[in-house]
Amino acid sequence: MDETRLNKMQQSFGIIGESEKIKEIIETIDQVASADITILIAGESGTGKELIADALHKRSLRKHHPFVKVNCGAIPAGILESELFGHVKGSFTGAIEDRKGYFETANNGTIFLDEIGEMPLETQVKLLRVLESGEFLPVGGSQSKTVDVRIIAATNKELFEEIEKKNFRKDLYYRLKTITIIAPALRQHSEDIPLLIERFALDFANRNNIPFKGFSPNAIHILENHSWPGNIRELKNFIESMIVLEKGEVINSAMVSKRLGVEKRQISTNLPMKVSRSVDQAERELILQQILLMRRDIADIKNAVISDFNNIALESAPRTTELQRYITPVHEEETIESEPEYEVAQDYMVNPNLLGKVSLEEVERELIEKTLKKFHNRKRQTATALKISERTLYRKIIEYGL
Model confidence at 147: pLDDT above 60: yes
Q: How far apart are CA 70 and CA 89, in angstroms?
A: 23
pLDDT digits (tens, 9 = 90+) for 265-316: 343 434 443 344 444 444 444 454 444 444 444 444 445 444 455 555 444 4
- Please state the rounded mean pLDDT for residues 330-353: 39
Beta carbons within 8 Å of 262's beta carbon, 6+ residues apart: 222, 226, 256
Confidence of residue 322 (pLDDT cuts 50, 70, 90): very low
Tell me which of 238-242, 298-302, 392-396 is least confident: 298-302
Highest mean pLDDT among 218-227, 358-367, 392-401: 218-227
pLDDT at res. 370: 84
Buried b (16+ CB within 10 A) or exposed e, 163-195: beeebbbeebbebbeebebbbbbbebbbebbbb
Q: What angle do CA 159, 161, 166 make, to 5 degrees?
A: 90
Compute and round to an integer the Cα radius of gyration of the chain.
Answer: 27
Q: What angle do CA 284, 286, 287 make, to 5 degrees?
A: 65
Residue type, 220: I
- H/E element, 69: strand 67-71
Q: How far apart are CA 153 and CA 69, in angstroms?
A: 10
From residue 207, give the alpha-carbon distance in Å to each of 197, 204, 289, 396, 398.
15, 5, 33, 21, 16
pLDDT at res. 301: 46
Model confidence at 210: pLDDT above 80: yes
Q: What is the DSSP letter of 91?
A: S
Q: How deeply is 120 buried, as exposed, middle or buried, from its count of CB atoms within 10 A (0-12, 13-18, 19+)?
A: middle
Confidence of residue 360 (pLDDT cuts 50, 70, 90): low
Which of 347, 337, 343 shows the shortest CA–CA distance to 381?
343
Sorted by where each starts, the structural domains of the chain and their CATH numbers stand as 3-184 (3.40.50.300), 186-292 (1.10.8.60), 295-402 (no CATH)
Q: How far apart are CA 47 and CA 192, in angstroms?
A: 13
Reported pTM = 0.64
Q: What angle do CA 24, 387, 2 make, to 5 degrees?
A: 30
Tell me the residue ranges of DSSP E strands in 305-385: 327-329, 348-350
pLDDT at res. 176: 94
Which of 229, 232, 261, 256 shows the shortest CA–CA distance to 245?
256
Q: How far apart are CA 360 and CA 154, in angstroms?
A: 49
Q: What is the mean pLDDT of the chain?
A: 79
Which of 144, 151, 149 shows the shortest CA–CA distance to 172?
151
**50, 69 contact by CB (below 8 A):** yes
- Please state the rounded mean pLDDT for residues 143-169: 95
Distance spanning both ends of the chain, measured CA to CA: 32
Tell me the residue ranges of DSSP E strands in 64-199: 67-71, 110-114, 135-136, 145-146, 150-155, 179-182
Paired sense of beta strands 135-136 and 150-155, if any: unpaired
Q: How far apart are CA 290 and CA 302, in angstroms?
A: 14
Bridge partners, residue 341, by sequence: none
What DSSP string describes 168-231?
A: S-HHHHHHHTTEEEE---GGGGGGGHHHHHHHHHHHHHHHHT-----B-HHHHHHHHTS--TTH
Percent of the chain with pLDDT over 70: 75
Q: How far apart are CA 299 and CA 292, in angstroms?
A: 8
